[in-house]
Amino acid sequence: MHDIYNFVSGTLVWVSFILFTGGCVYRFVSMAALAKKKDPVIYEYMSLRYALRSIFHWIIPFGSENMKMHPVFTIVTFAFHICLIFVPLFLFAHIILIKESWNISWWFLSDSIADVMTLIVVGSCIYFLVRRITQPEVKFLTSISDYLILAVVAAPFITGFWTYHQFPGHKFVGIIHILSGEIMLVAIPFTRLSHMIFFAFTRGYMGSEFGAIRHAKDW
């Protein structure tokens, strides 16, 4: 048990952090280099002002026409993304682990709030799943990988909730929790989850084209 725990909470943490940050940097740098070589227009037409203007409209809830057309989806996706990012970064237990290892710490959420936020993430994943299965326009675009990605994202939250509440098998699930968190982290740069890295750039580029060249809004 100790060996497994030490491995997943020691070596693998390092491996996943390195793959995550290295992967993000690599994806970003290689894309920037590719753009320089093949799509220099991006550099020419990217405008900070209009990029920010567009991003702004798309990161505030109901900031775009499309969000207003899908209120339930909008609420779910915002709740999902906020909880998804806040819970792992500000969970008390995570903060303590980081404090123990590197002697740094920051603000944290109370466990009861984190508990609710975890349920929001899991619930949102279920919503996304149901949507994928029942809505024809989403189903048509769906491949196995979409289900896998949803599973990869939901897993750390489900297992975290499980160990926290000490449901049966919680020790084993605890190990799976750490492992699945690491998998999710590594998956970010190398799957569709890389939208985290590129969102600002694709949105910003479209915002720049619409704003600076076409004098129109894109939200």
Partner 1 sequence: MKKKSWILYSIAVTAVAVVVVTAYSQENVKYVQDSAFKTKMRPGAVFLHDEHNEKAEIDDCGTCHHLYKDGVKIEDETSEDMECSECHKINGNPVPLVAKYHLRCKGCHEEKKAGPVMCSECHVK
Partner 2 sequence: MAEPAVNNTKQITDEGIVRGASKLTPEKIERVINSVLKAETGARLKTYVDICVHCGLCSEACHFYLSHDNDPRFSPAGKVKQTIWEILNRKGKVDAEFIKRAAEIASTECNLCRRCAMYCPFGIDIAYLLITMRRICHKLGVTPQYIQDTAHSHSATINQMWVKDDEWIDSLMWQEDEARGEIPNLRIPLEKEGAEIYYSVIGPEPKFRAQLIYQAAVIMNASGVDWTMPATPGWDNSDMCMFTGDFEMMARLKKIHFESAARLKVKKIVMGECGHAFRSVYDVGNRALGWKMPPIPVVHSIEFFYELIRDGKIKIAKKYEKPVTFNDPCNMVRGRGLHEMGRFVTNATCEKLIEMHPNREHNYCCSAGGGVINCGPPYKKTRVDGNRIKAEQLFAAKARGAKTIIAPCHNCHGGLEDIVHHYGLDMDIKFLGDIIYETMEKPE
- Give contact residues for ligand HEM (rule: CB under 6 A): 77, 81, 84, 128, 149-150, 153, 184, 188, 193, 195-196, 199
Is 144 a residue that touches partner 2 (CB under 8 A)? no
Binding mask 89-128 for partner 1 (x = CB under 8 A): ---xx-xx--xx--x-x--x-xx-----------------
Binding mask 47-76 for partner 2 (x = CB under 8 A): -------x---x-----xxx--xx--x---
For helices 144-164 and 71-90, angle between their N-to-C axes, nearest 10 degrees? 50
Q: Where are the alpha helices (DSSP H) in the chain?
A: 2-6, 12-38, 41-45, 48-59, 65-69, 71-90, 92-102, 111-134, 136-139, 144-164, 170-190, 195-208
Residues 6+ apart with CB under 8 A from 159: 173, 174, 176, 177, 180
Other beta carbons within 10 Å of 186? 20
Q: Which is nearer to ligand HEM, 49 or 195 (CB)?
A: 195
| Binding interface with partner 1 (CB under 8 A) | 1-3, 5-6, 92-93, 95-96, 99-100, 103, 105, 108, 110-111, 163-166, 170-171, 174-175
